[in-house]
Amino acid sequence: MLTLEPDLVGLQEWYPRRWRILGRTGRVRFSPGARLRLPGNAAPYLWNAPVLGGCVVGARADRFEPISSRVRLLSRPGLSDRVAHRRTMEPGRIATVSVYRDLLSDRTVSLVNFHLVSGIQARGSYRQDRPALVERHQHEVLVLRTIVEEQLALGHVVHATGDSNFDGLRLPGLTSAWEGRDHHPGTLGSLRKVDDVHGPGPAEVVTLVTTGSDHRAIVVRRPDPVSP
C-alpha cells in the first residue's frame, strides 16, 4: 500500500506486536502521552500508535507537521449477543484523532481513524438476531459522527478512514469514497464496501490493494490536494 505513497494513512488492528514494522518506514510515537519511541529512519512517514485500539495513523513527514494526536472512546467493554443463547464480552472501541499542519497550504488537517464492532450486518441490513451488538454499533457510529462534526467545526480539512464493518456507512459533512461506485469491487468479498476513506468531496480514483488481511486496503485520491 505504501508503494502508492499516500499522504495520510489509517491502519486498523495494528497492535503492539506489529509496532516495530512501522519503524521501517519512519518515526513512531505512542499515544496518549507515552514518551517511548521506536528506532526509525527520518522518512518518509510520521506514525502515531495508540496504546489501545490498534488504530494507527500516519502522515508524510515531508508534507505534514504534527500538532496533536489523541484517542476518543467510541464504546466501552460490555456484554453482547454475538453468540446465540450466550453473552460474550466485547472490547471497547476507540478512534484515533490526529491533527496536522499542511506545509504546502498552511491549512490544518484532521485524520480520524476508526474500527467499529463487527458481525452486525447481513444482506445489507442490521441483523435482527443480535440487538445488543447492533445497538453497540449504532452508538459507535453516533459518537464517530460527533467527532467528525467537532473536527469540521474547528475549521480542519477532515478525512475519516476506517473499517465500519457496515456496507453503506455515511458520515455527514464528508463524502464516502464509494459514492457513485456501487458496482466497483469491494474491500471484503466481491462487493462489500466496509472499509472507506471519507473526505472533502468525491473521490477521483479508488484503488484496492490486496494484503495479508481478509480485507483489501483502499487508497483514495481526491481533487483536494490533501488525499489519503
What are the C-alpha distances in Å from 160 to residues 35, 148, 197, 207, 227? 26, 8, 6, 17, 11
**Cα 47 from Cα 219, distance rounded (Å):** 17
User: What is the reported pLDDT for 43?
Assistant: 63
**Strands, DSSP E only, in 103-185?**
108-115, 121-122, 125-126, 157-163
The 10s digit of each residue's pLDDT in 119-131 is: 999 989 999 999 9
Residues 61 and 26 sit within 8 Å (Cβ to Cβ): yes
Q: Burial, 114: exposed, middle or buried (Cβ in 10 Å; 0-12, 13-18, 19+)?
A: buried
* Assigned domain for 117 exists: yes
Collapsing DSSP states into helix, strand and coil, what is residue 62?
A: coil
* Assigned domain for 217 exists: yes
**Cα 144 from Cα 113, distance rounded (Å):** 10
Domain that holds residue 70: 2-221
User: What is the reported pLDDT for 32?
Assistant: 60
Q: How many domains does the chain have?
A: 1
Residues 65 and 125 sit within 8 Å (Cβ to Cβ): no
pLDDT confidence of 36, banded at 50, 70, 90? very low
Q: What is the CATH number of the domain that holds 55?
A: 3.60.10.10
List alpha helices for the chain, DSSP H: 19-22, 131-153
Q: Count other Cβ atoms within 10 Å, centred on residue 11.
A: 21
User: What is the reported pLDDT for 64?
Assistant: 96
* Assigned domain for 227 exists: no
* Assigned domain for 132 exists: yes
* Assigned domain for 143 exists: yes
pTM exceeding the 0.75 threshold for the entire prediction: yes
* Assigned domain for 106 exists: yes
* Assigned domain for 181 exists: yes
* Assigned domain for 226 exists: no
Q: With a cut of 60, say whether residue 40 has pLDDT above it.
A: no
Q: With a cut of 70, say whether residue 26 has pLDDT above it.
A: yes
